Amino acid sequence: MFRKLHRWVGLALCVPFALQGLTGLVLLLLPKLAFNRPQLHDNGPLLPADTQIADAIAHAPAGMSIVDYAPPRWPGDTAAIGFGPPHARHPLETLMVDPTTGQVVHVTSRVSFRFAHDLHTDLLLIPYGQTATELMGILLTLMCITGIALWCPTPALMLSARWKRAIVPPTRIAGYRGLRDLHQTVGFWSALLVGFMGASGAIMSLPHAHNDGPPQGADHARHGPRHGGPNGG
């Protein structure tokens, strides 16, 4: 029963699992490769955060509100202010602002990041994607449990030297048997991590786990003081 459950769940969900793995890698690497902030000369004292935000709002796309604000990290660094549709969790455009003058020096599009994020979290099945992702996380955790049960060596195998084959990668991969041994070994070493990712992903996809923020129009008040405005410290 465990073998059939493990095999058919894996077969039915192999494509969505591959998509989530690929898009997760994109979400991890894309900000590091494509969203670097331009560096400027240190031109003096920094403007308050709400002044930087107000200058960015004047150049923001129409109909978009503030999604996030990242202050400069060191002298000469720019501030990054992201804009997106109301109640969005990730920005579609990020404006790089000189924190000493308030001038917008660069605009970065995050449409590709947003598409990868929606594909990763919702599989483009809005509004049913979060439910599908939650179900996939539960099934992935179930696959880890059944996989460990199938991997567990028999008592006779434990008493012999052959049990090491269950935890040591095969030195030669040839044919079906070699691929199966490799699959079992990789599954054993990654079961704990993959099971944690499946369970935590299912929890994060629950509706109550999201906080889309205040209604439109409250974004300026929310982000200004919190990030160093005159009233926020």
pLDDT tens, residue by residue, 107-123? 888 878 778 877 887 88
pLDDT tens, residue by residue, 151-210? 877 777 777 766 776 778 777 777 887 788 888 888 888 898 999 988 888 888 776 555
The residue written with tokens 């969005």 in the block is 88
% of the chain surpassing 90 pLDDT:
15
CB contact at 8 A, 116 and 27: yes
In three-state secondary structure terms, 105 is strand
Q: What is the mean pLDDT of residues 51-60?
A: 91
Residue 51 token pair: 């002044």
The per-residue pLDDT for 209 is: 56
**Closest listed residue to residue 171, CA positions, set 163, 159, 181, 160:** 181
Residue 78: pLDDT band by 50, 70, 90 thresholds? very high
In three-state secondary structure terms, 102 is coil
Domains in the chain: boundaries: 2-28+118-209, 36-109
Q: What is the mean pLDDT of residues 7-36?
A: 83
Residue 31: which H helix or E strand, with range?
A: helix 14-34
Distance of alpha carbon 15 from alpha carbon 37, whole angstroms: 35
